[in-house]
Structure 1
Amino acid sequence: MPITQYQNNTSIYKKGDQKVYDITDEKRAWYRKISHESRLSKLSAEEGLIDSIHEINKPRFDPDLLMPQLESNGLTAISLFSGGGGLDLGFLRAGYQHIASYELILICKDTLTTNLESTNIYCGPDEGDVRKVNWNIYKDKVDIVHGGPPCQPFSVAGSRKGADDERNMWGEFSRAVNAMKPRVFIAENVLGILNPKFNDFVKKYILNELTDYSITTFKMHTADYGVPQIRERVFFVGFRNKPRLNKFTPPSPTHTWDHLGKNDSYPNCLLFDTGLEKTKGVRDCLGLHSIGFDNLAPTIRSAFTGKRNTTSILNSTAGQKSWGDMQIWPNGIQSSREKASAFPAKNKHFRLSVQDVGLIQGFPESWKFAGAVYQVLGQIGNSVSPPVAYHVAVSVANALKNT
């Protein structure tokens, strides 16, 4: 019988008293090799056998500047599948009032309670499981319902079982929206959900279940909004009042990033001037010295993956090369910059801290994550990039206030 962990990238089944993790032998061996090498290196560092090889970095990137705090717009919002709070933060910065957050993973309660300064945080299997909530208590009391139902049923990194995946929570998202009847709902997911394979799924769980709403769909890329990461996501936005949908305009890019991924000798004359601000590369954002090359980070994976509590953000072997080109090590992430500096990485590459990873996802350093390193990375990797959420929130607010 499957064990329900719908925020986990790895399917878990019970075979007798044993848990069976649904990942390939090749991928398992790859994780083990990286983990073993990292462990040996860390032990040497802790024993003082290796000197630190890089100074503690001072970032030159502040995500708060990408989402200036707006005055209250008088709109209320509730979040489902809240994770580390990416959507919550974006909506707060856009002037919304937070009503409540719901999340299955218990450690998220400490993160959300601390940062949102709210008592209406419901996390864990007892109070955060959306399948157990009577949403009628919020009926007609909330303007916006937003959330990112688990993406694993549609992700190219998974088995793509769609409706047959135990982690499919789209039916629960639709149930919540239909019960609360907000003016608008916003749902985020991976691009895989738009694959023709899932057309029937989208029709059944979104279009046919949310018939009281007029829905639009659009894609967003984090780097288009100044965040130094390759991360494309799809948004479904539904308005209960159809004329309001006609006033809604999906966010337009605020930044360009065609200059990244090229060495410093690349002719500037070959770059098209869009008039937009340039997204910084990862090295620039983290305050690292120039090596003549900078780029966006590969998509950060969730660390709630696999049998071990991984401290890696690497999502593929191709991603390893991309990180390597920037001379940054994506494995063995440390809990602080001081510890990262004291733990030399392979090839003398820069080792990341959880604070650095948060910045790469678009979280300001003022947003404090609770838990062990793998739990922090899991919260970051599962989250919507806050500046992206912010621009969606602003566009929705503009549609609701336009006459």
Structure 2
Amino acid sequence: MKSIELFAGAGGLAMGMARAGFHHSAVVEWDADACQTIRENLAHYADRGQEMLLFQGDARQFNYSLHSDDVDVISGGPPCQPFSMGGKHQGDLDARDMFPVAVDSVRRVMPKAFIFENVKGLLRQSFSSYFEYILLQLTYPQLSKRAKETWIDHLGRLECAHTQGKQKPVYKVVFRLLNAANYGVPQKRERVVIVGFRADLGVNWAFPDATHSEDELLVSKWVTGEYWERHEVSKRRRPTTPEKVHRKLARLATGDLHQTYRPWRTVRDAISDLPDPERRGKSEKSNHILNPGARAYEGHTGSPLDEPAKTLKAGVHGVPGGENMLARPDGTVRYFTVREAARIQTFPDSYVFHGSWSETMRQLGNAVPVDLAEAVSSSVHRALSLQT
């Protein structure tokens, strides 16, 4: 099955799609460093039989007509800054809002399905009308915005079409707020994922079930001790059980502790086998170089070693805050290396990132975790396979 990837960034969603069995007809990205990262990692796509077109430029200038006849899925993560909790929250007023481009791509290509990802902030009350607008446009892409029509007026027209029932939905659209940690990503990263299937296909689909859980991590730490034993942490060096964990374990004890879920993966799970970047000597691992100067302050205390990482973030002035720092058990902190951050985003070690430390961390902070992308896109691929 063929796909077009928009707003590809460093390629997290694109790689997850490739692993799921999609063949990229084109990958679209405007940022030069992110494009160079993809170029330097083309072997990861070639080993799956892909010779994809990398279009470096504005997605609004991409010629969809060259691919409109044979594209099954359009995917992408429109820039999240307009809706990010850490941004200016300008939403539709932000020039970086690329959801109109995403909708237009669906309108032009009419793929069998689409997958779009964005930040949790998109669900904020202040953006509720605009989020409804996005969903209705994707449901009825043929009802495009008229010249000089405001988006509010267009929303009203879409609402009327939807409630009157005279227009049949072109796409069946669903969305869900997913926590990447529930899918084996060593990071508490909540993202809105929007998926649509063309209505004429009659696809029966739901988001894939979670595979990992916080409860099972608690059990492996504080009931069986398997977590500490696996990492060879002696009983003397293990932390005491927090009181809030005692209370939760008491509640868990009344139920079934042996679920089908696996434990959440932690920062230690992700990076413990990497050499300490603070020790002298060059690491054999690419992008595994210490960036000095990390410090903790109120609201920015780093990611604890024995929990999934806090959400990795990107910023225009380097890395904002402690989400991109490791917080050791002794209270000290240091920045994650690029390789450590890549592992937290579930990129393979052979995936090389192009650019300075701050630039590569920006790429990683904007990326879709590869394992989460694979989980969702594999489910979409299976559903479409049943239609052929």
With normalisation by structure 2, the TM-score equals 0.69
1:32 aligns with none
Secondary structure of 1:193's partner?
helix
Alignment of 1:253-292 (within 5 A): 253-258=210-215, 259=217, 264-266=239-241, 270=250, 271=252, 272-287=257-272
- Please say if 1:204 is aligned against 2:161: no
Deviation at 1:361, TM superposition (A): 1.2
Conservation of the 8 A alpha-carbon contact between 1:184 and 1:237 = yes
**Where does 1:85-164 land on structure 2 (aligned, <5 Å)?**
85-117=11-43, 118=51, 120-123=53-56, 128-164=57-93
Tell me the TM-score normalised to structure 1 length: 0.67
1:230 aligns with 2:188: yes
- Root-mean-square deviation (Å): 2.6
Say if 1:174 and 1:206, in contact at 8 Å, map to a contact too. Answer: no
How big is the shift at 1:288?
6.5
Q: How far apart are the structure 1 equivalents of 2:67 and 2:316? A: 33
2:99 is aligned to: 170
How many pairs are equivalent?
A: 294
Letter in 1 for 2:198: R
Is the Cα–Cα contact under 8 Å of residues 113 and 119 in structure 1 kept in the other structure?
no
**Cα separation, 2, equivalents of 1:210 and 1:315:** 38
CA distance in 1, matches of 2:138, 2:20: 29
Q: Does 1:324 align with 2:327?
A: yes
* Residue 372 (structure 1) aligns with: 356
Q: Is the 8 A contact 1:140 1:181 kept in 2?
A: no
Distance in 2 of aligned mates of 1:368 and 1:288: 18
Distance 1:355 1:281 in 2: 16
- Identity of aligned pairs, percent? 32
Note if contact 2:327-2:334 (Cα within 8 Å) is conserved in structure 1.
Answer: no
Q: 1:54 — aligned with what?
A: none
Change in CA separation of 1:369 and 1:327 when aligned onto 2, cut-off 3 Å: farther
2:116 matched to which residue of 1? 187
**Secondary structure of 1:107's partner?**
helix
Structure 2 residue corresponding to 1:384, chosen from 356, 368, 373: 368
CA separation in 2, counterparts of 1:273 and 1:217? 30
Alpha-carbon offset, residue 224 of structure 1: 0.6
Partner SS, residue 151 of structure 1: coil
Q: Does 1:399 align with 2:354?
A: no
Amino acid in structure 1 at the alignment position of 2:313: R
Give the partner amino acid of 1:120: L
The Cα offsets for residues 245-289 of structure 1, whole Å up to 9 and x where unpaired, read as 4x1120111112233598654369645432311123112321169
1:295, distance to aligned residue in structure 2 (A): 1.0
Q: What amino acid sits opposite 2:349 in the alignment?
A: E
What is the distance in 2 between the residues matched to 1:398 and 1:288? Answer: 34
User: 1:226, 1:326 → 2: CA distance?
Assistant: 23
Farther-moved stretch of structure 1 (382-391 vs 350-359): 350-359
Rounded to whole Å, the distance in 1 between the matches of 2:126 and 2:184 is 32
| Counterpart-to-counterpart distance in 2, 1:158 and 1:386 | 24
